[in-house]
Structure 1
């Protein structure tokens, strides 16, 4: 009976979470599609140069949200209501601090940042515009991530999903309106994207009127111990997003030298599809996190590991289906984003899709395993896996393989890195 209940809860939380995270990933995917149609190859290149900053912002929001919400689930299962409120309040304090830093960066340094990310004279203005407004909307992105995690962990996964999906759908509609009828160009794309988390936040406000709501903002100072736990438990979620951003920065720099702006635009197609696929695995990981944390807090380790097994089986099934679809339909997928019918872009992107996504099963395994370690308050193994994926292995491998095999080496960097980390993760889990 307990097994059936566990499976039912797993299905409920995971499906709702995946739908929601897919919605968030479509923020940038919608921009990519409409910019490719309305602005062309240069617009696509500018967007791809700016996207790593979105990963940094989104990663910060997930770090705070997942860290605080993990403690919410553990404390609730242990009956520590006062600690729940203190964790929520301190998480909001941290969200304000990080938001302020991103906002100031956008206000004063967006043009320097665009140049640092590799924008040349052809795409500098568009990259600067997208970056500036992306950073100015950072408070909305970060607060939205925090509230989504807390609402989901507070037994309202449906509301969390609805908020994310409506925010995403609004972005798609506004993207079309701003870029085509209103002719606002790349500014229209980022303005639509910036309004989406605000709409999502508004959709979540009814949670505070419900009886089941168990977390509230309370009058308390910022507590060093809570801040440390919040950041420590959420750090793997940050690194997971940062790794995407850092990979994009490194790949953009390498590809600019190998293939120029057309190569960067082609990589933009691959990277943005990757955002959607990673969002599925993030959704599975975030969906099981409340269940694993609750079982762990209640001393039921067996059920926690059962939920992990469900998650891994689901991930493996999805991974096989995803790679098969990408391999078979690589050419038509690229064509969707290639409005100018650029044959060079088509060639580079098709090869990239087939090689880059050999990583898919290892990415899913690493994402879920890192979240499992975090959910049972084992931060160190989660940190090790996350840092290896995002920093220590991937950067030297990228430079080595690109020097050896040029673009083929670039595309193989991601699967090789994720495979090596998955091996280590398997060993750590066994011990």
Structure 2
């Protein structure tokens, strides 16, 4: 009976989060589409230059949200209500400090940041505008990330999913309205993005209006130990967000030297599709997290292992379906994004898609494993897995394999990197779930 209960909970949490994360990844594709159509190449350039800053803001919110919510779920499992509320209060305090830093940077440093990111005279004004508004909306982004994570861990993954989807789709609608009928240019594009978390927060407020919440702000001194634990546990979420941008920049540089703009365009197709797959695996991992953290708080290692097995099995089934579909339908998939019917791009992207996506079962295992390590306070293991797949192994591997095998080496970088990290993750499991932190 307990096993059936665990499976039912796993399916409920996972389905809600996979839908929410998939919707989020699709809105990113739509956002890019509207900007490119409405503002042309310069608008797309400004957007791409500013994306790393957005990734850092969003990653910071996820770091605090995932780290704080994980500790919250663990304390709930231990029946320590006071500590659970202390975690939430300290997470909000930590988030407020980061909100202030980003907000002030938006007011005083947006021009300097635009120059630092490489914006030339052609796109400087648009890049500066995009950065300023994104940074001014940083409090909304960070608070939204924190609240989504806490509401999910407070037993309401459905509301978290609805909030994510509503924010995402409102961004798409507002993008269209602001860029085309209202002709607001880059300001309209970034305003649509900035309003999305505000709308999401309005949806999340239902959790409080219906008095379903079990976490509250309380009067308590700031605990540096809790802040440190929150940041350490949530750090892999920050790395995942920031590293993806860094890896894309490095890959673009390498491919540009090997195959020129057509190669970069082909990689853009592959990278965007990969984001959707990554979002699905992240949804599985985030669905597992409240359950494994609660079981960890109870000291229930059997349930932890059971939930992890469900996660890995789900990931493997999805991986087989996705890769089978991608391998068989690579050519028509590429043509959806190849509006100019460029033969060279078609060939490069089709081959690249088949090779690059060999990585997906290893990628899924590593994402699920990193979340398991974080949710059971195996901080070092989680950070090693996240850093290795995000930066430490992937970037040197890209340079090495591109020198050895050209574009084929680039496509095989991620499969080999994720395979190596999988071996590392499996080795960490040998220490059990209650080893060193």
1:201-216 maps to which residues of 2 (within 5 A)?
Answer: 201-216=201-216
Q: Cα deviation per residue 1:399-424 (whole Å; 9 max; x = unaligned)?
A: 22223333333222222111110111
Q: CA deviation at 1:224?
A: 0.5
1:12-161 maps to which residues of 2 (within 5 A)?
Answer: 12-41=12-41, 43-119=43-119, 124-161=124-161
Which residue does 2:7 correspond to in 1?
7
CA distance change for structure 1 residues 50 and 254 in 2, over 3 Å: closer, same or farther?
A: farther
CA distance change for structure 1 residues 218 and 262 in 2, over 3 Å: closer, same or farther?
A: farther
Counterpart CA distance in 2 for 1:232 and 1:80 is 21
Counterpart CA distance in 1 for 2:288 and 2:395 is 30
CA distance change for structure 1 residues 257 and 189 in 2, over 3 Å: closer, same or farther?
A: farther
Q: Does 1:366 align with 2:366?
A: yes
Q: Cα deviation per residue 1:221-252 (whole Å; 9 max; x = unaligned)?
A: 32101101111111122222222122123223
The question of whether the paired residues in 2 share the 8 Å contact of 1:30 and 1:172 is answered with yes
The question of whether the paired residues in 2 share the 8 Å contact of 1:55 and 1:241 is answered with yes
Counterpart CA distance in 1 for 2:45 and 2:255 is 11
Q: Does 1:416 align with 2:416?
A: yes
CA distance change for structure 1 residues 314 and 25 in 2, over 3 Å: closer, same or farther?
A: same
1:158-197 maps to which residues of 2 (within 5 A)?
Answer: 158-197=158-197
Q: CA deviation at 1:306?
A: 0.4
Higher relative contact order (CA 8 A, sep 6+): 1
CA distance change for structure 1 residues 239 and 125 in 2, over 3 Å: closer, same or farther?
A: same
Q: Equivalent residue of 1:371, what SS? A: helix
Which residue does 1:200 correspond to in 2?
200
CA distance change for structure 1 residues 179 and 267 in 2, over 3 Å: closer, same or farther?
A: farther
CA distance change for structure 1 residues 139 and 353 in 2, over 3 Å: closer, same or farther?
A: farther
The question of whether the paired residues in 2 share the 8 Å contact of 1:40 and 1:340 is answered with no
1:238-249 maps to which residues of 2 (within 5 A)?
Answer: 238-249=238-249
The question of whether the paired residues in 2 share the 8 Å contact of 1:48 and 1:265 is answered with no
TM-score by length of 1: 0.92
Unaligned runs of 5+ in 1: none
Coordinate RMSD, CA, aligned: 2.4
CA distance change for structure 1 residues 296 and 385 in 2, over 3 Å: closer, same or farther?
A: same
Q: Equivalent residue of 1:406, what SS? A: helix
Q: Equivalent residue of 1:303, what SS? A: helix
Counterpart CA distance in 2 for 1:354 and 1:44 is 27
Q: Equivalent residue of 2:181, what SS? A: coil
**Greater mean deviation of Cα atoms: 20-29 or 108-117:** 108-117
**Greater mean deviation of Cα atoms: 401-410 or 353-362:** 401-410
Q: CA deviation at 1:84?
A: 1.3
Unaligned runs of 5+ in 2: 432-437
Which residue does 1:222 correspond to in 2?
222
Q: CA deviation at 1:14?
A: 0.5
Counterpart CA distance in 2 for 1:213 and 1:228 is 25
Q: Cα deviation per residue 1:106-147 (whole Å; 9 max; x = unaligned)?
A: 444444444544555665554444334333322222111110
Counterpart CA distance in 1 for 2:273 and 2:117 is 21
1:375-386 maps to which residues of 2 (within 5 A)?
Answer: 375-386=375-386
CA distance change for structure 1 residues 327 and 136 in 2, over 3 Å: closer, same or farther?
A: farther
**Greater mean deviation of Cα atoms: 201-210 or 100-109:** 100-109
Counterpart CA distance in 1 for 2:255 and 2:427 is 34
Q: Equivalent residue of 2:182, what SS? A: coil
Q: Does 1:322 align with 2:322?
A: yes
Counterpart CA distance in 2 for 1:110 and 1:226 is 32
Number of aligned positions between the proteins: 431
CA distance change for structure 1 residues 133 and 399 in 2, over 3 Å: closer, same or farther?
A: farther
